[in-house]
Amino acid sequence: MWKSGSKTSVGERSDIPADGVRFNSGAARLARRDERLQMVNDTIRSRGVDDTRVLGALANVPRHEFVPSHLQSLSYSDQPLPIGEGQTISQPYIVALMTFLADLGTGQRCLEIGTGSGYQTAILAEMGATIFTVEIRPDFARIAHARLMSLGYEPSQIQYRIGDGLLGWPEIAPFDAIIVTAAPERLPSKLLEQLAINGRLVVPVGPPDGVQRLERWIRRSTGNDASAFEFTHVLNVQFVPLQSSM
């Protein structure tokens, strides 16, 4: 989850709804559509992400449904926003960029590490892939699951797991793409091992308070040494740390 560096004053209050709160899927997808289209044109397409499938996903998913109620007015600004417990919903541009780097095709299998609010999960599902998402915080996992189901995402599209994301989901590997939405200090070797041939790992790597690098690793052959992968340093970033039991 992209770490907030914005000068906008926003609170860190948690806004996780109580059990029984439902989300309005039909109205939510229509509401504030003009704001989403403006966000896509002004802050994503203008910065070089021009893949029409990615832009369509960002235009279709109602980001305001994933933002705490007291921050609703900032839903379509190009900034991360706090969602409680020190976590954030990522900046729309970074969500778009990571989705583009994952290069998902219809019917492919994508592992997401860090469900968080569920926003990146929804964007990935819009790409036509089957998403396997892992979240270490049970409350976040529960609320994201309810929110995504209410927005119309079926169990056949998104499968959920509560657990340590650094372990991946080995029993159902390999994956065509893996996206990590928070930053481990070191490259997660167990996730590299779970990539299919030509599979893509998109991950921010680095210390919590230092320079982190958004990296893409593509498996080009069998084996798990460096020669089996193609590596790209995309840009420097600042994400919240990836929580792990390890």
Active site (catalytic) residues: 90
Sign of the Cα pseudo-torsion (195, 66, 31, 78, in order): negative
Which residue shows structure tokens 């969500």? 95
Report the C-alpha gap between 6 and 199 in whole angstroms: 33
The tokens of 56 are what? 């369509």
Residue 170 burial (C-beta neighbours within 10 Å; 0-12, 13-18, 19+): exposed
Report the C-alpha gap between 13 and 182 in whole angstroms: 20
Task: Tell me which DSSP letter residue 118 carries.
Answer: S
Q: Are strands 212-219 and 195-205 parallel, antiparallel or unpaired?
A: antiparallel
Report the C-alpha gap between 86 and 241 in whole angstroms: 10
